[in-house]
Chain A
Amino acid sequence: MNVRPFVFLAMLLMAAPALGQGFAGLGTAAQGFARPEPGDTLKFPADYGAHPAFRIEWWYLTANLTGPDGTDYGMQWTLFRSALAPETREGWSSPQIWMGHAAVTTPARHFVAERLARGGIGQAGVAAAPFTAWIDDWRMAGPDLSDLSVSASGPDFAYDLSLAAGGPLVLNGEAGYSVKSPEGQASHYYSQPFYAVRGTLHLPRGPVEVTGRAWLDREWSSQPLADTQQGWDWISLHFDNGAKLMGFRLRQKGGGAYGSGTWIGADGTVRTFGNGEMTMTPLREAPVAGRDIPVSWRVKLPAHGVDVTIEAVNDAAWMDVLFPYWEGPVRISGSHSGRGYLEMTGYD
């Protein structure tokens, strides 16, 4: 559940203070846009591509990587699509706006870059087959989602990675229909959590060969947040025993949360779970970008015997972009060990 910064939403709806309507305006009503319906069946490769009738959509890749000396690294490559109107047009009048975020996190540093683009002119876009997602020189491309090459660059970093999926796509929620609130806000949401990664990070001190695991989220919707929700906490965890866990909780304004997630067993069996099954409790807050952010959590999923502590590799994994948020790699200890990613939005 990597909804984020929908810069544009807010940029476009600038008149309304963005956070008054949930993070980055994501709680804003969605007249004219398509709505995710429970019965919709996802079709591939078509659903690798863009869904311009929906207001927001993302291709969200995070990776836990390890250098030759055992150093932990995190990598993020994200392409967001935001539609000002539910239509496609050629040229500058296209209402489709694109935004890219790329990041590399080391235990000591956090590198971020952001890209913005208009649709309709070729600067950014997504083609379903052969699969290509791009914004400027950043690319995530392959014949399909099981075999990807990913690259991005910023002023002080760049990376070039190859990803090979060791398992099938995982549909979250009910066959890819993921409910976000008791009022019924929902998205279409599937993941590819089985990537093995190999490649090079280009950092100020020179290139670093890395290997690791990556997680791709694909999600599209028109109003993923209820008016009463102010942000979310999201995790994707790779346990060392081969099991994986995706879970999120959407925080209500004034307390309370709505959560759900997906458990992927070491044998590949997938079980989704609803509100109340998983608990996330902040353990430690760190001062980041002038606010306190919970960078360590206790996560419990009793149905699968999970009781772990997750701890940020780098507390300062702050995405200082148009609509800033926290996103970074975590280490897992407790009932299970492993690596994963944590994302937190709406902390002011």
Chain B
Amino acid sequence: MVRATLAALMAHWWRHPLQLVSLAVGLALATALWSGVQAINGQARDSYDRAAQLLGQNRFARIEAADGQRFGQARYIALRRAGWQVSPVLEGTWRDGDRRLRILGVDPVTAPPGAVPQTVTGGAGLRPFITPPGLAFAAPETAAALEPATGLPELRATAGLLPGVLVMDIGIAQNLLSAPGAVSRLIVAPEQPMGRPPLAEIAPDLVQRAPQARADISRLTDSFHLNLTAFGLLSFAVGLFIVHSAVGLAFEQRRTMFRTLRAIGVPLAVLTALLAVEMLMLALFAGLAGVALGYGIAAALLPDVAATLRGLYGAAVPGTLNLSPGWWLGGLAVALVGATAASAQSLWRVWRMPLLAPAQPRAWARASARSMVAQTGIAAGLALAAVALAMWGQSLVAGFALLGAMLLAAALALPGVLSALLGMAERAARGPLALWFWADTRQQLPGLSLALMALLLALAANVGVGTMVASFRLTFTGWLDQRLASELYVTAENEAQAARLREWLAPRSNAVLPIWSIEGSLAGAPGAVFGVADHATYRDNWPMLRMQPGGWDRVARGEAALINEQLMRQAGLVPGDMLRLPGGHTLPVAGVYSDYGNPRGEAMIGVDLLTTLYPQVPRLRHAIRADPAQAVALARSLVEEFGLPPDNVTDQARIKALSLGIFEQTFTVTAALNVLTMGVAGFAMLMSLLTLSTMRLPQLAPVWALGLTRARLARLELVRAVMLAALTMLLALPVGLLLAWALLAVVNVAAFGWRLPMHLFPADWARLTALALLAGGTAAAWPAWRLARTAPADLLKVFAHER
């Protein structure tokens, strides 16, 4: 009996392959989006772990200067000679044009086992490694990209290193970074000799820190990943809508078969169990396909994600995928859970189905009409929760919860709102055909609502993210104009050259402004302190959000500091508060400037104070004010006169292009996921319409019999779909704008530390509306065409059979 029942169930799919495909594709797409995003996240996280491992930060304590700055290696020798088993590390950035390389100078002789990659200490041998020009170990992709670069030690490609990092001997690194005798920190070996004197006795200016992955990168990039995860969840939710509708329809369509099977004696338990097994099998196959598809998505998007992380946060992530078995299993599990969730309700209905109930799809529609009320109630509750989150939520998680609640509320409210609108239209309609059209549309609504909800979500996300990106671009370009007021930016190769450069430039330019900075801890997080010259360039152009009267004068005298918006929000500082600089000096805050795109907190103090507080500050970068017409010529003569690499001299336009490029990348991934979500929603609609079209024959046949041609009916079907899409778009617009507001004013502030003004872009909405109508029309085209081609005999059969 089991076999016969199974054969009967399978026969349904055999006769309706499209339903099977829609079910499988829906589940696969949902799984693919979810697992693709997870793959990207996992890969990036793995890279940070490797970064922490590479530096030994996760296993070894470290000793640093109290102000986080580099210190002389005499300190290192003093500690060694007091018995401390420590190994020096010099870290720095080396610029090769637009590319920034992280230089990691190590001492392979004293590094504790595991602190320096094995490949570095073995293989080539120590002598070429430590003898100038030395060797630099780099990930294969980094080594390949750097091949023609000059000024670097000979490169050795080594698997297992992070891209963008060059590992070399500390002596070689000191030369390359123009930091002779400097050390960034010391790695403390786990085993220390007995009886060594305390650290404070030998080097009171140094402090020991416990092993930990450094918080900065992970904290910053967390927001980015949370963003991706949220998108993944959104995609999965949209996918679940599809699965739910497909499963629901598959069960509904087979009600007659279930009744017949039950009537001829198949026990309810056997039937339910078989259906459950059928769903599991389907979920397994579709899940496998989805995971494979997810791999494809991740592989396609990862290079952009890697570029974003690198550009925005300086976090190096390889552009290639390397996935664990756990990820594959996780993707499958998600597919299984999704299918189970989607089919649970349907199975429950089969279990409760009265043996002799009329096996009509209409029954399902009525049940759904009942549930629509409950659904609208839930939507109202979620909307209230969203309002509460918007008013009292603070954290990034609260921001995303707000987004989730808002979108879900809108989606759940959609069928109710649409039903009300259609009801109004029906009451206003004149003539029997119009009345029938509205009534029939309303009757179809339950079957289409899931697809329409998916479309709403996709449209709203599109409006929201599109508004955010466009607002961002507009604000950011304006800000760049203010911030990059100087005509030229030049970086000297060393201090001596920098001094000559200043001398040479003095008569040839209007002003040479230092851009000198030190890195250090501000308000407990990694940040930087810049020295600023007293010059009109800053007074006139710097994008201040708030400023106390006479602020610039006080900064110039070294009596006050300016902070960026990020630091203001992180530390809760307002003008007038005291700011503690790395090393302990405190200054009152005189003003706050906007600093889009910078993930760190920063402060600006007078340049004289900077050089007094941090005498070791590198004095290499300068901004040059000159006649804009002469800027290019000046740049050329700088290169010729000083033999500077052309990349060390940059003009304003180039920096702007570079900065904008980085931000474009940030949103590439978002945009790609947006398009995918749209596609999924369109597919959902197509599948729903296709499934409905076969079920709807009993409703269409009487209208046909009354004289409406099949072509006319098909046109009406098409109009209906386009109209529904238009209504959905109309509702999606306010939801999308709310979403944009939440992204700009809540999520952005929590994730990046700055708030963007919101701009509106009606042209984009028009384009999106056209897209939505096109999606609706396209989705309806095939079912409508099928209807137009339905054999009259099939329509007549409706009157002959009681299905």
Cβ of B171 and Cβ of A15 under 8 Å apart?
no
Nearest CB in chain A to that of B169: its residue: A92
B752 → chain A, closest Cβ, in Å? 40
Cβ of B127 and Cβ of A12 under 8 Å apart?
yes
Count, chain B residues at interface, CB 8 A = 31
Complex Cα gap A118–B85 (Å): 14
B209 at the interface (CB under 8 A from A): no
Complex Cα gap A11–B110 (Å): 13
Q: A116-B109, A118-B130 are in contact. Are A123 and B81 (CB under 8 A)?
A: yes
Give the contacts of B166-191 with A (CB-CB under 8 A). Answer: 169-172, 174, 191
Cβ of A134 and Cβ of B81 under 8 Å apart?
yes
B178 → chain A, closest Cβ, in Å? 15
Cβ of B109 and Cβ of A12 under 8 Å apart?
no
Complex Cα gap A93–B169 (Å): 9
Cβ of A113 and Cβ of B193 under 8 Å apart?
yes
Complex Cα gap A154–B85 (Å): 10
Complex Cα gap A136–B192 (Å): 12
Instruction: Pull 23 A–B residue pairs with CB atoms less than 8 Å apart, ordered by A.
Output: A11-B125, A13-B125, A14-B122, A14-B125, A15-B124, A85-B127, A85-B131, A91-B171, A92-B174, A95-B131, A97-B126, A117-B109, A118-B107, A118-B110, A122-B81, A123-B77, A123-B81, A136-B85, A137-B83, A137-B193, A137-B196, A153-B194, A157-B194
Cβ of A84 and Cβ of B131 under 8 Å apart?
yes
Give the contacts of A40-89 with B (CB-CB under 8 A). Answer: 84-85
Contacts A84-B127, A97-B109, A202-B195 aside, 19 further interface pairs with beta carbons under 8 A come to: A11-B126, A12-B125, A12-B127, A84-B130, A92-B171, A92-B174, A93-B131, A113-B193, A117-B80, A117-B109, A117-B110, A123-B80, A137-B80, A137-B82, A137-B196, A153-B195, A155-B192, A158-B195, A202-B194
A135 → chain B, closest Cβ, in Å? 9
A215 at the interface (CB under 8 A from B): no
Give the contacts of A84-106 with B (CB-CB under 8 A). Answer: 84-85, 91-93, 95, 97
B132 at the interface (CB under 8 A from A): yes
Q: A93-B132, A121-B77, A123-B81 are in contact. Are A154 and B193 (CB under 8 A)?
A: yes
When distances are taken between beta carbons in the complex, the residues of chain B under 8 Å from A8 are 126
Give the contacts of B189-242 with A (CB-CB under 8 A). Answer: 191-196
When distances are taken between beta carbons in the complex, the residues of chain B under 8 Å from A92 are 107, 130, 169-172, 174
B121 at the interface (CB under 8 A from A): yes
Most buried by B among A84, A97, A122, A136: A136
When distances are taken between beta carbons in the complex, the residues of chain B under 8 Å from A85 are 127, 131
Complex Cα gap A156–B192 (Å): 9
Cβ of B130 and Cβ of A93 under 8 Å apart?
yes
Nearest CB in chain A to that of B123: its residue: A14
Cβ of B77 and Cβ of A122 under 8 Å apart?
yes
B307 → chain A, closest Cβ, in Å? 35
Complex Cα gap A157–B192 (Å): 11
Complex Cα gap A153–B196 (Å): 9
Complex Cα gap A92–B182 (Å): 12
Partner of A153, one of B73, B123, B193: B193
Nearest CB in chain B to that of A7: its residue: B109
Complex Cα gap A116–B110 (Å): 6
Complex Cα gap A93–B129 (Å): 9
A-B contact count (CB 8 A): 86
Complex Cα gap A15–B128 (Å): 12
Complex Cα gap A306–B194 (Å): 42
When distances are taken between beta carbons in the complex, the residues of chain B under 8 Å from A123 are 77, 80-81, 110
Contact with B along A134-170 (1 / 0, CB 8 A): 1011000000000000000111111000000000000
When distances are taken between beta carbons in the complex, the residues of chain B under 8 Å from A11 are 121, 125-126
Give the contacts of B105-148 with A (CB-CB under 8 A). Answer: 107, 109-110, 121-127, 130-132
When distances are taken between beta carbons in the complex, the residues of chain B under 8 Å from A202 are 194-195
A8 → chain B, closest Cβ, in Å? 7
Cβ of A136 and Cβ of B80 under 8 Å apart?
yes
Cβ of A93 and Cβ of B171 under 8 Å apart?
yes
A206 → chain B, closest Cβ, in Å? 12
When distances are taken between beta carbons in the complex, the residues of chain B under 8 Å from A137 are 80-83, 193, 196
Chain A interface mostly = mixed
When distances are taken between beta carbons in the complex, the residues of chain B under 8 Å from A97 are 109, 126
When distances are taken between beta carbons in the complex, the residues of chain B under 8 Å from A121 are 73, 77
Contact with A along B70-97 (1 / 0, CB 8 A): 0001000100111101000000000000
Most buried by A among B127, B172, B192: B127
Cβ of B191 and Cβ of A15 under 8 Å apart?
no
When distances are taken between beta carbons in the complex, the residues of chain A under 8 Å from B123 are 14-15
When distances are taken between beta carbons in the complex, the residues of chain B under 8 Å from A113 are 193
Complex Cα gap A69–B126 (Å): 48
Q: A92-B130, A97-B109 are in contact. Are A136 and B73 (CB under 8 A)?
A: no
Complex Cα gap A97–B172 (Å): 16
Complex Cα gap A96–B468 (Å): 60
When distances are taken between beta carbons in the complex, the residues of chain A under 8 Å from B121 are 11
B285 → chain A, closest Cβ, in Å? 51
Q: A92-B171, A95-B127, A97-B109 are in contact. Are A155 and B80 (CB under 8 A)?
A: no
B118 → chain A, closest Cβ, in Å? 11
Nearest CB in chain B to that of A102: its residue: B193
Contact with A along B46-85 (1 / 0, CB 8 A): 0000000000000000000000000001000100111101
A111 → chain B, closest Cβ, in Å? 10
Cβ of B83 and Cβ of A136 under 8 Å apart?
yes
Complex Cα gap A11–B172 (Å): 19
Q: A8-B126, A11-B126, A117-B109 are in contact. Are A153 and B83 (CB under 8 A)?
A: yes
Contact with B along A270-313 (1 / 0, CB 8 A): 00000000000000000000000000000000000000000000
Nearest CB in chain A to that of B180: its residue: A91
Complex Cα gap A116–B107 (Å): 11
Complex Cα gap A12–B85 (Å): 22
Q: A13-B125, A15-B123 are in contact. Are A155 and B194 (CB under 8 A)?
A: yes
Nearest CB in chain B to that of A84: its residue: B127
Complex Cα gap A92–B121 (Å): 16
Cβ of A118 and Cβ of B81 under 8 Å apart?
no
A98 → chain B, closest Cβ, in Å? 9
B363 → chain A, closest Cβ, in Å? 78
When distances are taken between beta carbons in the complex, the residues of chain B under 8 Å from A117 are 80, 109-110
Contact with B along A9-26 (1 / 0, CB 8 A): 001111100000000000
Complex Cα gap A153–B194 (Å): 6
Complex Cα gap A92–B83 (Å): 20
Complex Cα gap A111–B169 (Å): 32
Q: A12-B127, A15-B125, A93-B132 are in contact. Are A158 and B193 (CB under 8 A)?
A: yes
A20 → chain B, closest Cβ, in Å? 15
Give the contacts of A108-141 with B (CB-CB under 8 A). Answer: 113, 116-118, 121-123, 134, 136-137
When distances are taken between beta carbons in the complex, the residues of chain B under 8 Å from A153 are 83, 193-196
Complex Cα gap A154–B191 (Å): 9
Cβ of A12 and Cβ of B126 under 8 Å apart?
yes
B76 → chain A, closest Cβ, in Å? 8
Nearest CB in chain A to that of B170: its residue: A92
Complex Cα gap A95–B125 (Å): 12
When distances are taken between beta carbons in the complex, the residues of chain A under 8 Å from B131 are 84-85, 93, 95
A207 → chain B, closest Cβ, in Å? 11
When distances are taken between beta carbons in the complex, the residues of chain B under 8 Å from A155 are 191-194
When distances are taken between beta carbons in the complex, the residues of chain B under 8 Å from A12 are 125-127
When distances are taken between beta carbons in the complex, the residues of chain A under 8 Å from B80 are 117, 123, 136-137
Complex Cα gap A12–B108 (Å): 11
Complex Cα gap A13–B124 (Å): 8
B413 → chain A, closest Cβ, in Å? 68
Partner of B126, one of A84, A136, A158: A84
B251 → chain A, closest Cβ, in Å? 67
When distances are taken between beta carbons in the complex, the residues of chain B under 8 Å from A95 are 127, 130-131
When distances are taken between beta carbons in the complex, the residues of chain B under 8 Å from A91 are 171
Nearest CB in chain A to that of B197: its residue: A137
When distances are taken between beta carbons in the complex, the residues of chain B under 8 Å from A13 are 125
Partner of B81, one of A14, A136, A154, A157: A136
Contact with B along A217-251 (1 / 0, CB 8 A): 00000000000000000000000000000000000
